[in-house]
Structure formats: structure tokens, C-alpha cells
Amino acid sequence: MDLAYERLADRMHVVSLPLATRFRGVESREVALFSGAAGWGEWSPFLEYEPEEAARWLRAALEDADLERPALLRSAVPVNATLPAVAPSAVAEVLARYDGCRTVKVKVAERGQVLEDDVARVTEVRALLPDVRIRVDANGGWGIDEAETAVRALEHFDLEYVEQPCASVPELAELRSRLHRLAIPIAADESVRKASDPLLVARAGAADVLVVKAQPLGGIRAALAIVAEAGLPAVVSSALDSSVGLSMGAALAGALPALPYDCGLGTGALLTADVTASPLVPVGGSISAERVAPDAALLAEHAAAPERVEHWRERLAACLPHL
């Protein structure tokens, strides 16, 4: 391997953090952390992501570790609670982990489940928290007709918005046209962070809100530029990060000129361990926008197994040509 790879590999610390609730099919979250001149950056693309996509996440991690962040316009960021696709009986236990959050994002369209499961989950949230704001996230899991049926079944819960109900930009545009009388906004996530052109969804008039994530978009500065050019309100979210990664997202949210929605940066509450003794979890419905540095003892305690470290070293080598 060349010198650039060796230098990056020497700076990389891979940890495995257990989850309180199974999420995206996993019970622990592996992340790689890089130390740098400005602090620490996180690289945590999901394991199924190919090198070209994962390289954008790597670029963000290295930028965050090596460069000072843009100036903050706010020191704290309001966040939503994130509810995985759990049974109604488990809803109260999950939501209890989020202190003071006034918004709940409910995962829907889970593979192996049906619309009745989604309705039951949202019904339980509304029963437990009558005044909370509810948004649902389908992760592109519905076709157009399925999405229209689902939104009409959920509309009486006074939805704040529906996130990525369909996978493609043309589907989102068609659905938005069908649902315009309901006045329920459509938010785009995967159509921004996984797209070769993250601005296409805005130009196509296919969304009302952009969900932006610092890592998948290549860093805080790249995400700020996308939001500025899109001209749509933005919600900053995370990818089930450690507190280091959540801190990158919070810095992005803290630097945005406007922040009309609570951000999806409260997912530290889904971890039962973190890399800092003061994890970024919601307190009074917000998290700090300041940098987070991991504790050496916790890095050691949660270090991934040697074969998993080797896996991440191989990912690093595969991603470097795409930087």
C-alpha cells in the first residue's frame, strides 16, 4: 500500500457500539474515527455501501478532522426522536430515551411489515404524546400507489411531513402532485444524499423539504452549498452515528442560515455505549453544536475485533481512488 493509505490507516480507530433497539437490521454500529489537526472526524457508511459512495463519507470525515468548521450561528440544535419500526408495545420504551423532544420521526414501510403495522405504531405515538409533531420516514419503500394509500391512511395524525415515500425523483413528483390538496409536505433524503445530482429533486419540484446529512454529501461545506443552491428548507439528519459523527451534523445545522425543523440528530439515544463519557443525546429536546472528542479509554473498550478492523482497512484502500 502507498504512503497516503498507511498514514490514514494509522489515524483510524474502528469501534463497535451496541444499540438499544435493532435498527436497519443490526444490533451494533461500527464506525471508524480519524484524528486530525482540527479534531476528530467520523467515517461510518453502512456496510453495504460500495466504495464510490463510501468515499464521499470518507471525504467528509477527513475534512472534519483536518479543517476548522464553519462558524456557528447557534450553539444548540433542536432534535427529533427517531422511532424504529418497532411493535406498538415497544414504543413507550424507545421514546423514553429522548428527553424533551417535541417531534417524533416514525419509521414506516419496513420490509416484512404492512400498512396496518405503520398505522398502529403512529397511533401509539399519538396516544402517548398527544401534542408531539409526527413525521414518517419510508426510506423509499413505497411505490406511488402504495404511498398515496399510506399517506391518506396517516393524514389524520396531522403529519409534519412524509420523508422519502418513494425511491425515485419522478415518483416523488407524481406523488406530490396527487397529494397537493392534503398540504402534507414531502421531504427528500435518499434523493439528495444518494443521488449523482443532489439538486435534481429540487429542480424537479419533487420535494418541499431537503433532508441533508454531512457525511454522505461529502462534508459540512458541501452540504451547506447544496442547501443554499436548492432554496428549500432543510432538516439535518444523521446515519446512526457516534457522538463524533453527530457533532459533525450538529455543526452543519448550527451553520445553516435558517433551521425551521427539528433535526434528526438525536439518534445517540439509540446507542447503549458511545466513544465519549458525555454523549450527544437530547437534553431538553436539543444537543450541543460543539465539537466532540472521544475518550481514549472508551475507544479501547469498544474497539472492534481485529477482523473487523481489517475489513475497514480494506474499505479504506478501496475508497481512496474515489476521493
DSSP string, 196-230: SSTTHHHHTT--SEEEE-TTTTTSHHHHHHHHHHH
Q: Is the pLDDT of residue 323 over 70?
A: yes
Q: Is the pLDDT of residue 3 over 90?
A: no
For residue 203, the one-letter residue type is: R
- 105 included as an active-site residue: no
Closest CA to 35 of 290, 319, 244, 251: 244
Residue 85's pLDDT is 96
Which of 107, 121, 176, 193 is labelled catalytic?
107
* Host H or E run for residue 27: strand 26-35
Closest CA to 29 of 39, 41, 16: 16
Q: Using CA atoms, how far apart are residues 69 and 56, in angstroms rounded to an integer?
A: 17
pTM summary value: 0.96
* Host H or E run for residue 146: helix 144-154
Q: What is the pLDDT of residues 139-152, one digit of tens each?
A: 999 999 999 999 99
Place of cell 437490521: 25
Residues in a beta bridge with 163? 137, 187
Q: What is the pLDDT of residues 35-72, one digit of tens each?
A: 999 999 999 999 999 999 999 999 999 999 999 999 99
Q: For the chain, what is the mean pLDDT?
A: 96
Per the CB < 8 A criterion, the answer to whether 91 and 124 are in contact is: yes
CA end-to-end span of the chain, whole Å? 16
Q: Is the pLDDT of residue 100 over 90?
A: yes
Per the CB < 8 A criterion, the answer to whether 129 and 104 are in contact is: yes
Q: What is the pLDDT of residues 209-218, one digit of tens each?
A: 999 999 999 9
pLDDT level of residue 21 (50, 70, 90 thresholds):
confident
Segment 127-146 shows an average pLDDT of 98
Q: What is the pLDDT of residues 266-292, one digit of tens each?
A: 999 999 999 999 999 999 999 999 999
- 213 included as an active-site residue: yes
Residue 188's pLDDT is 98
Closest CA to 16 of 301, 262, 315: 301
Which of 56, 97, 105, 213 is labelled catalytic?
213
For residue 101, the one-letter residue type is: C
Residue 314's pLDDT is 97
Segment 108-119 shows an average pLDDT of 97
pLDDT level of residue 1 (50, 70, 90 thresholds):
low
Place of cell 402532485: 177
Kindly give, in sequence order, each residue whose CB lies less than 8 Å from that of residue 242, ignoring residues fewer than 6 positions away.
15, 17, 29, 31, 33, 42, 44, 268, 271, 274, 275, 294
Place of cell 424537479: 204
